[in-house]
């Protein structure tokens, strides 16, 4: 067994109407002024924002607000938030939204607490954060798991680069998870979020080294749970139990637990999708679904037994003798069939993209950090490998 460290300091408050506890939870942080950060107008129209702000008022907590976060959150909004926090003396940030809002809040928290450099330098990997404003989150989309993770992903409009930064100091002090807050989501967003949860688990699962049986078992159970309940939500979008299972799976998939003993995970699909998100602003989960099958077919022969285990333990596909290749491919096809069953794409054309050779070359060039890095652990991929996977997904 490989050694590992697990750090999950976030207090999770889960259940119906838990968002009404926001004021109490913020007050426990002994802060003076809060930035309430949110996304679209839906938070206002639903009354959620008013309820959260009223909860803060009841506890005597001063606050300012900043909305307008979009999917694939923008660096320009982060700069706006940093300026507002410094002007208003904000010392705590409360994110009300999905992964994009939480990621934006983390970036604002970094930028406010590290005024000596441009916050983008963290995402460009040229600086390391030494401080971060404390944060809390009220989750409205089950997907990214950012509420219990140490990661944040931001898109820089200058070059449309989508980059991530990880640091444990950005982990939320608390996360409020009320499945009812996800009821108003469009079906596409709900199912795209389910794919994101699956991929956060599979990125850690598909590693070409010996793993821990208990972690594999938890990962396989999580995958089965999300697949089962994602199908339910296609027919019953108001099913509370299904939404609760999905929401908790989203946090568990990305808080580090599923990565114990895996050496950190593969993450090639996420890197490939980040460039698609940066250039074409696609929904993150849908973009992952569109490239996963091509990635899997390109790399599975590095360890077909691992893919065969996935096929058998997640989808119940029997492994005939030692024919791991056949079982592995059947598992890949089963996952793509599931994506189709929840109306998610399995290639770039179904995602709405038809790429030129030049665009594919640009994607691979950016993904390889201008031909200076490889990606992936299951199989290391260089720029040419990335181009081939994009071409397969584009066929």
Tell whether 364 is covered by a domain: yes
Asked whether 32 and 133 are in contact (CB, 8 A), the reply is no
Asked whether 284 and 71 are in contact (CB, 8 A), the reply is yes
Closest to 197 measured CA to CA, from 229, 239, 165: 229
Residue 44 banded pLDDT, cuts 50, 70, 90: confident
Residue 317 banded pLDDT, cuts 50, 70, 90: very high
pLDDT of residue 38: 97
Task: Assess whether pLDDT exceeds 80 at residue 5.
Answer: yes
pLDDT of residue 2: 80
pLDDT of residue 239: 97
Q: How many CB atoms lie within 10 A of CB 245?
A: 21
Pair (286, 206) in one structural domain: yes
| Helix ranges restricted to H, 146-283 | 187-205, 213-235, 240-254, 268-280
Tell whether 209 is covered by a domain: yes
> Distance (Å, rounded) from C-alpha 116 to C-alpha 21?
35
CB proximity list for 321: less than 8 A, separation 6 or greater = none
Tell whether 284 is covered by a domain: yes
Pair (210, 291) in one structural domain: yes
Tell whether 87 is covered by a domain: yes
pLDDT of residue 322: 81
Task: Assess whether pLDDT exceeds 90 at residue 306.
Answer: yes
Pair (166, 313) in one structural domain: no
CATH of the domain at 34: 3.40.50.1970
**Packing angle, helices 213-235 and 187-205, rounded to 10:** 170
Pair (69, 213) in one structural domain: no
* Tokens, residue 238: 């108001």
Residue 281 banded pLDDT, cuts 50, 70, 90: very high
Pair (43, 111) in one structural domain: yes
pLDDT of residue 45: 85
**Sequential DSSP letters for 289-347:** HHHHHHHHHHHGGGSHHHHHHHHHHHH-----TT-HHHHHHHHHHHHHHHHHHTT--SS
Measured between its terminal Cα atoms, the distance across the chain in Å is 40
> Distance (Å, rounded) from C-alpha 394 to C-alpha 391?
5
* Average confidence score pLDDT of the chain: 96
Task: Assess whether pLDDT exceeds 80 at residue 285.
Answer: yes
Residue 144: in which H helix or E strand, if any?
none
Tell whether 1 is covered by a domain: no
Pair (242, 367) in one structural domain: yes
Asked whether 65 and 36 are in contact (CB, 8 A), the reply is yes
Tell whether 2 is covered by a domain: no
Asked whether 76 and 158 are in contact (CB, 8 A), the reply is no
Pair (254, 163) in one structural domain: no
**Packing angle, helices 383-394 and 357-367, rounded to 10:** 140
pLDDT tens for 46-70 read: 899 999 999 999 999 999 999 999 9
pLDDT of residue 53: 96
User: Which among 181, 210, 237 is the end of a domain?
Assistant: 181
pLDDT tens for 82-92 read: 999 999 999 99
Asked whether 249 and 197 are in contact (CB, 8 A), the reply is yes
Pair (29, 52) in one structural domain: yes
Tell whether 194 is covered by a domain: yes
Task: Assess whether pLDDT exceeds 80 at residue 1.
Answer: no
CB proximity list for 104: less than 8 A, separation 6 or greater = 37, 69, 73, 74, 77, 78, 81, 95, 154
> Distance (Å, rounded) from C-alpha 151 to C-alpha 144?
10
Pair (120, 49) in one structural domain: yes
Bridge pairing between strands 92-97 and 151-156: unpaired
Pair (169, 213) in one structural domain: no
Pair (197, 327) in one structural domain: yes
> Distance (Å, rounded) from C-alpha 263 to C-alpha 256?
11
User: Which among 134, 157, 181 is the end of a domain?
Assistant: 181
pLDDT of residue 321: 78
pLDDT of residue 298: 98
pLDDT of residue 43: 85
Tell whether 6 is covered by a domain: no
Asked whether 276 and 183 are in contact (CB, 8 A), the reply is no
pLDDT tens for 338-366 read: 999 999 999 999 999 999 999 999 999 99
What residue numbers bound the domain in which 49 lies? 11-181
pLDDT tens for 366-390 read: 999 999 999 999 999 999 999 999 9
Please give the tally of structural domains in the chain: 2
* Mean pLDDT confidence for 154-174: 96
Pair (148, 76) in one structural domain: yes
User: Which among 129, 164, 181 is the end of a domain?
Assistant: 181
CATH of the domain at 324: 1.20.1090.10
Residue 175, φ and ψ in degrees, nearest 5: -135, 125
């Amino acid at each position: 067994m490989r050694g590992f460290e697990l750090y999950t300091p976030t207090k999770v408050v889960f259940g119906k109407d838990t968002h009404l506890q926001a004021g109490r939870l913020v007050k426990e942080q002994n802060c003076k002024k809060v930035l309430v950060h949110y996304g679209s107008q839906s938070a206002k129209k639903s009354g959620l924002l008013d309820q959260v702000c009223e909860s803060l008022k009841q506890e005597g907590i001063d606050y300012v607000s900043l909305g307008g976060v979009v999917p694939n959150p923008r660096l320009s909004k982060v700069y706006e938030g940093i300026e507002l926090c410094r002007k208003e003396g904000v010392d705590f940030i409360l994110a009300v939204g999905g992964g994009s809002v939480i990621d934006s809040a983390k970036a604002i928290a970094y930028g406010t607490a590290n005024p000596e450099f441009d916050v983008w330098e963290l995402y460009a990997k040229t600086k390391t954060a030494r401080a971060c404003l404390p944060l809390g989150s009220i989750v409205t989309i089950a997907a990214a798991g950012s509420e219990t993770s140490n990661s944040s992903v931001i898109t820089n409009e200058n070059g449309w680069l989508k980059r991530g930064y990880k640091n444990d100091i950005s982990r939320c002090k608390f996360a409020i998870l009320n499945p009812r807050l996800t009821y108003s989501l469009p079906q596409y967003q709900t199912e795209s979020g389910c794919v994101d949860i699956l991929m956060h688990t599979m990125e850690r699962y598909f590693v070409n080294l010996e793993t821990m049986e208990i972690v594999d078992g938890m990962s396989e159970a999580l995958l089965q749970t999300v697949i089962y309940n994602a199908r339910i939500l296609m027919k019953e979008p108001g099913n509370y139990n299904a939404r609760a299972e999905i929401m908790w799976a989203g946090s568990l998939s990305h808080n580090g637990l599923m990565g114990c003993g895996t050496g950190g995970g593969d993450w090639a699909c996420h890197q490939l999708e980040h460039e698609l998100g940066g250039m074409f602003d696609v929904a993150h989960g849908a973009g992952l679904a569109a490239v996963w099958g091509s990635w899997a077919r390109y790399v599975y022969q590095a360890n077909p037994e691992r893919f065969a285990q996935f096929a058998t333990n997640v989808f119940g596909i029997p492994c005939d003798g030692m024919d791991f290749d056949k079982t592995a491919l059947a598992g890949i096809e089963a996952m793509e069939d599931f994506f189709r069953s929840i109306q998610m794409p399995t290639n770039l054309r179904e995602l709405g993209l038809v790429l030129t050779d030049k665009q594919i070359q640009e994607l691979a060039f950016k993904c390889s950090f201008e031909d200076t890095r490889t990606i992936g652990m299951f199989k290391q991929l260089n720029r040419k490998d990335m181009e081939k996977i994009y071409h397969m997904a584009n066929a």
